[in-house]
């Protein structure tokens, strides 16, 4: 049996070699073969939705958990009538010449590295939000997409939803005058995750591969199933989970803003005494000079009366303020209020059953895969990374407890503590390379 150092070298070489062995450019009607990496709840959605796309085959699956592999293979068999190839290590899957698209639904800390490796292997990529786990690796993902001429779509599916496209167009046409502020609300009810003890790694789980770039930690169930979102090693809190959608809409509605001049964020983890590290209450402000983005996360019981609807226990959406009024946008539609009396002048409802349907977003990726035209992407890597980076900047300010200035030209805070959080160390051999 090949020992681990030699096996790692072999897999790295195979992945690099695959970059020169990518399948020829696909014809307009040729079948696209997809590999889904990460088979938790969102990954199973990916399997469902790619299986629905015309001329699209879920050819392979990858997960570090044997139970998830088996469940995913049965899902593909039921949906498409064939047995997919199944992998535990994504690097082996990337070496396959039969794969055209890699769809990444892993925990956040794997997003950028998995996408970079896929680009290097000559694959096009769908990567879930946030596009990266920190600002530095996000830049490397953009570099990789450009260098290898890969179509990379980020899971900001609002950009493929018709009523949100129309709302952003109206904002840019001046429906509420000159814009001065966008506000994102993530009032998503979260229960306490409690405490789970350190325990032996359950059979069938490769804990080393799960942690990947993150520091080695003892296994506990809270760090594994979904609740990895609330640990800094693997997640980004709710501002980088649900909130990155609304952050993306803030940037989009204000004309695709880049990085801010300054950021300040405060908050805390209130009420609960549990394993969670990230805040359940957070406020952030990003200053761009003549315009600003304000963002708020609340995971506890909360509500404010206003234009945004409360759906179940949650109030999630965006408010845009301008010289002539304001606009409210959420999953159900959008409303425009104009003049000093703030009279409602538009009220568009979104009547589709699945307001957050990702199918149109997958369709735009597959269109770009066939056309090789990045303009067919609705959420390219550059846009996804910028929106994720605002979440990261807010978290860095929160963790350090102070306002920070960002130098876009130097891609740096010029603050040793902040820059260390913007580019944390990686655990060998799961390292985002300096040169992609």
Please, are residues 39 and 103 in contact by the beta-carbon 8 Å criterion? no
DSSP assignments along 368-414, one per residue: HHHH--GGG-SSBHHHHHHHHHHHHHHHHHHHHTS-EE-BTTTTB-S
DSSP strand pairing (262-268 vs 179-187)? unpaired
Q: Taking 80 as the threshold, does the pLDDT of residue 11 lie above it?
A: no
> What are 254-266's pLDDT values in tens digits?
999 999 999 999 9
Strands in 281-287's sheet, in edge-to-edge order, are 343-349, 333-338, 325-330, 315-322, 179-187, 292-298, 281-287, 262-268, 404-405
What is the per-residue pLDDT for 28?
Answer: 57
Q: Taking 80 as the threshold, does the pLDDT of residue 356 lie above it?
A: no
> What are 131-165's pLDDT values in tens digits?
999 999 999 999 999 999 999 999 999 999 999 99
Kindly list the structural domains of the chain, giving each domain's residue range(s) and its CATH number in brackets, ordered by start.
Answer: 4-157+359-380 (3.40.50.720), 160-209+217-355+388-422 (3.30.360.10)
What is the per-residue pLDDT for 26?
Answer: 64
Lowest mean pLDDT among 1-15, 61-75, 105-119: 1-15
Q: Cα separation of 210 and 105, whole Å?
A: 12
> What are 385-405's pLDDT values in tens digits?
999 999 999 999 999 999 999
Predicted TM-score of the model (pTM): 0.93
> What are 176-215's pLDDT values in tens digits?
999 999 999 999 999 999 999 999 999 999 999 999 999 9
What is the per-residue pLDDT for 402?
Answer: 98
What is the per-residue pLDDT for 304?
Answer: 84
What is the per-residue pLDDT for 10?
Answer: 38
CA dihedral (387, 388, 393, 399) positive or negative: positive
Q: Cα separation of 303 and 315, whole Å?
A: 7
Angle at 290 between CA 237 and CA 260, to 5 degrees: 35
- Residue 23: pLDDT band (50, 70, 90) is low
Cα 169 to chain center, whole Å? 23
> What are 213-263's pLDDT values in tens digits?
999 999 999 999 999 999 999 999 999 999 999 999 999 999 999 999 999
């Amino acid at each position: 049996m090949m020992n681990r150092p030699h096996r790692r070298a072999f897999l790295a070489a195979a992945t690099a070699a695959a970059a020169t062995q990518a399948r020829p450019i696909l014809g307009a009607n040729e079948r696209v073969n997809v590999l889904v990496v990460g088979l938790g709840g969102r990954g199973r959605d990916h399997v469902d939705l790619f299986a629905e796309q015309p001329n699209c085959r879920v050819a392979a699956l990858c997960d570090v958990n044997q139970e998830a592999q088996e469940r995913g293979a049965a899902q593909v068999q039921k949906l498409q009538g064939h047995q997919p190839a199944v992998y535990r290590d994504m690097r082996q899957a990337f070496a396959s010449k039969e794969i055209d698209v890699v769809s990444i639904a892993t925990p956040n800390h794997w997003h950028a590295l998995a996408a970079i490796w896929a680009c290097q292997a000559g694959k096009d990529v769908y990567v879930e939000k946030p596009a990266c786990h920190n600002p530095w690796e996000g830049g490397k993902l953009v570099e990789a997409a450009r260098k290898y001429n890969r179509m990379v779509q980020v899971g900001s599916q609002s950009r493929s939803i018709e009523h949100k496209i129309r709302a952003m167009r109206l904002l840019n046409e001046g429906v509420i005058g000159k814009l001065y502020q966008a506000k994102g609300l993530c009032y998503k009810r979260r229960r306490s995750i409690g405490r789970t003890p350190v325990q032996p790694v359950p059979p069938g789980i490769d804990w080393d591969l799960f942690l990947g770039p993150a520091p080695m930690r003892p296994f506990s169930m809270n760090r594994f199933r979904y609740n990895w979102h609330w640990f800094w090693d693997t997640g980004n809190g709710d501002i980088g989970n649900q909130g990155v959608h609304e952050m993306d809409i803030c940037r989009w509605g204000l004309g695709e803003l880049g990085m801010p001049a300054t950021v300040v964020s405060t908050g805390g983890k209130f009420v609960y005494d549990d394993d969670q590290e990230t805040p359940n209450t957070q406020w952030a402000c990003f200053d761009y000079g003549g315009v600003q983005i304000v963002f708020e996360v609340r995971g506890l019981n909360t509500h404010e009366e206003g234009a945004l609807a409360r759906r179940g226990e949650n109030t999630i959406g965006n408010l845009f303020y301008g010289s002539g009024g304001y606009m409210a946008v959420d999953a159900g539609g959008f409303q425009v209020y104009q003049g000093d009396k703030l009279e409602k002048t538009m009220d568009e409802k979104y009547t589709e059953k699945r307001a957050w349907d990702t199918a149109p977003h997958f369709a735009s990726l597959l269109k770009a895969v066939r056309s090789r035209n990045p303009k067919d992407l609705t959420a390219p890597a550059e846009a996804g990374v910028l929106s994720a980076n605002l979440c990261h900047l807010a978290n860095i300010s929160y963790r350090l407890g102070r306002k920070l200035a960002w130098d876009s030209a130097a891609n740096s805070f010029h603050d040793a503590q902040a820059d260390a959080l913007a580019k944390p160390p990686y655990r060998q051999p799961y390292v985002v390379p300096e040169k992609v």
